[in-house]
Amino acid sequence: MAGFKALKGQGHWPTLLAAFLYFDFSFMVWTMLGPLSTEIAESLALGGFVISAGQKATLLSIPILAGALLRILLGFGVDKFGAKKTALMAQSIVIAVLFYAYFRGASISYDELLIVAVGLGFAGASFAVALPQAGQWYPPKLQGVVLGIAGAGNIGVVIDFLFAPKIAELWGWEAVFLVGAILSTIIFITYMFMAKDAPPEVYTARPKKLKDYGKLLKDKDTWWFNLFYAVSFGGFVGFAGYMKVYLMNTYQADMSAFGTDVFNEENVKVIAGYFGALCIFAGAILRPVGGAVADKLGGIKSLYIFFGLVSLLAILNASVVLPFWFAILVLFFIMANLGMANGAVFQLVPQRFGKDIGIMTGIIGAAGGLGGTALIKTLGWSKGAFDGYSAGFMIFAAVVLIALMGISLVKTRWRTTWGVAAGGRI
């Protein structure tokens, strides 16, 4: 696409690459409890603690919730101390938590896992650092594709689902935390040497104070963006975190029916990881495509398309019990459109809040994390209350439709006010 070609000779590619790698591996660490949920539950059961469906949903949702709240803190850190210092501080905490979980191993308690889950939230909060650091180097007309590339680091969750269950099968779930700790250390060193904060001649913004947060929270556009990102990113990370649980609970018999050396009843947890990775990959890899599409068509029109398709597919999945392969296809396209919607939302944000991008990335990123937490808890509630997920998917579809109505309410005002001088297509 033309948007990708336009990057040549612009900005600072080592920082863009470093931001991508930092967010990619941070996202991998942030969501690693999802693909390990079954193995961890079995380990706790061996120690005499039988985890309930509600406790499992809580464990999976805490990193998402912590990441959401910490995005506000790290967004403030980006404006106060710079993106690089903030990133290195957060990454240090993540590395310490991963090594702690590994050395505690099978003797770790559920309560300790909850604390580990909070620590993993610092990895999820990397979003509030990586995106503004990359975006500060590039002009408004390229924000969609640049933030799409940096944000495509959410492909890290695909790595989780591909490799975490297999590593756990071979060496135990604790080994996954060791691998994560080693990789995070490598990324820490790489980022330290590659990433640079944008100099004043490229990007100038005064340090933000707490009152600046209050001012932005009074802006109604902040809340519209919060809604849109709570749907797009919240949907993506919520489904990603709960994907293995959903597949195991709904299609375990179908996955166990594979009769090859690779697919059999003994490694059904690994199979669930593979199919989960397939669906999540769509949303992760297509985020920059969504940003590029938004650069060309405008973020508003793009969101109409992406959200419209998500709502239809979610209603379809809620209405009938789909055959396994068709269900995988539906989930694939749901995740694909959510991923592209993420890119479209962040094509608009820096055009509306250019000089406040650090704070706004934190605030809007927090809304996305809260949306993901709500989705995981909704799906868990649906399973517990109705022994199925139809109610959960229908509630999600209703929220997407509300977001579509919101776009209709703001589109004219946006295009005729700040959109006129934004520098990119609205």
Residue 153 tokens, joined: 């680091």
* Domain that residue 128 falls in: 12-197+217-420
Structural domain contains residue 6: no
pLDDT digits (tens, 9 = 90+) for 91-141: 999 999 999 999 998 889 999 999 999 999 999 888 778 878 887 777 767
Of the CA atoms within 13 Å of residue 77, those in its CB half-sphere come to: 20
Structural domain contains residue 295: yes
Q: Per-residue pLDDT for 72 more than 60? A: yes
The DSSP 8-state label assigned to residue 388 in this structure reads S
Alpha-carbon separation of residue 303 from 310, 357, 379, 425 (angstroms): 10, 20, 24, 13
Residue 230 tokens, joined: 């709570």
Structural domain contains residue 209: no
CA angle in degrees (0–180, nearest 5) for 70-76-77: 90
CA angle in degrees (0–180, nearest 5) for 27-29-31: 70
Residue 96 CB partners (closer than 8 Å, separation 6+): 119
CATH number of 326's domain: 1.20.1250.20
Residue 356 tokens, joined: 């406040």
Structural domain contains residue 203: no
For 334-360, what is the mean pLDDT? 88
Query: In whole angstroms, what is the distance from residue 189 CA to residue 95 CA?
Result: 12
pLDDT digits (tens, 9 = 90+) for 310-329: 999 999 999 988 899 999 99
Alpha-carbon separation of residue 409 from 90, 224, 357, 359, 363 (angstroms): 38, 10, 24, 25, 22
Structural domain contains residue 3: no
Structural domain contains residue 206: no
Query: In whole angstroms, what is the distance from residue 318 CA to residue 320 CA?
Result: 6
Give the confidence band of 273 by pLDDT, cuts at 50, 70, 90.
confident
Query: In whole angstroms, what is the distance from residue 391 CA to residue 393 CA?
Result: 6
Percent of the chain with pLDDT strictly greater than 70: 90
pLDDT digits (tens, 9 = 90+) for 384-420: 889 999 999 999 999 999 999 999 999 999 998 988 8
pLDDT of residue 294: 92
Residues 116, 202: contact at Cβ < 8 Å?
no
Residue 396 CB partners (closer than 8 Å, separation 6+): 235, 314, 375, 378
Structural domain contains residue 325: yes
**Total of domains in the chain:** 1
Residue 235 CB partners (closer than 8 Å, separation 6+): 310, 334, 338, 371, 372, 375, 396, 400
Structural domain contains residue 1: no
pLDDT of residue 207: 62
The DSSP 8-state label assigned to residue 197 in this structure reads P
Residues 68, 124: contact at Cβ < 8 Å?
yes
pLDDT of residue 214: 84
| Nearest alpha carbon to residue 375 among 264, 241, 253, 280 | 241
CA dihedral 380, 385, 387, 389 (to 10 degrees): -50
